[in-house]
């Protein structure tokens, strides 16, 4: 089944689930264990009725946290994905405007978790202007260390 058809079918078939249920792309998440079990029973029953098959290798049940849109979602809320943070921390110093753009793009992901991110990255962003000659100075390094 194509992605489009799968999502259309998921929208149609999930309208009967409990209010604390949310679905997106290929994920169905539920607020608590009791609602999880109720929703799971409904999903499996409806799937049997409609002859919808699931890939057992891809199904995860009763997980307490999951990756969702580049974040970790749990009972604590949203937190940054440690793998993304590690990738930023381990990036070598920028050697060019293009590499700095890549770094700032990755860092932008953290802006929802770090207050005043635009102020912190302001020194680096000045290096991206067309009329500025590339030269990595101490002020840029200090700003980068604040981020990392």
Predicted confidence (pLDDT) at residue 13 exceeds the cutoff of 70: no
- For the record, the structure tokens of 4 come out as 């489009």
- This prediction's pTM: 0.63
From residue 36, alpha-carbon distances to 29, 31, 33, 46, 112 in Å are 8, 7, 5, 15, 28
For range 114-130, the mean pLDDT: 91
Task: State the average pLDDT over residues 111-126.
Answer: 90
Under the banding of pLDDT at 50, 70 and 90, the label for residue 44 is confident
- pLDDT tens by residue, 62-106: 888 888 888 998 888 899 999 999 999 999 989 999 999 999 999
Please name the helix (run of DSSP H) or strand (run of DSSP E) that holds residue 103, with its range, or none: helix 97-108
């Amino acid at each position: 089944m194509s992605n489009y058809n799968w999502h259309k079918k998921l929208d149609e078939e999930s309208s009967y689930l409990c209010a604390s249920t949310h679905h997106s792309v290929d994920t169905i998440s539920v607020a608590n264990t009791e609602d999880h079990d109720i929703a799971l029973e409904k999903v499996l029953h409806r799937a049997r009725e409609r002859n919808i098959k699931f890939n057992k290798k891809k199904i995860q049940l009763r997980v307490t946290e999951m990756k969702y849109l580049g974040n970790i979602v749990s009972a604590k809320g949203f937190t940054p994905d440690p793998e993304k943070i590690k990738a930023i921390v381990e990036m070598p110093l920028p050697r060019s405007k293009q590499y700095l753009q890549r770094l700032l793009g990755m860092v932008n992901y953290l802006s929802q978790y770090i207050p005043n991110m635009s102020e912190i990255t302001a020194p680096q962003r000045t290096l991206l202007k067309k009329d500025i000659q590339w030269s990595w100075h101490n002020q840029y390094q200090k700003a980068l260390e604040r981020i990392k």
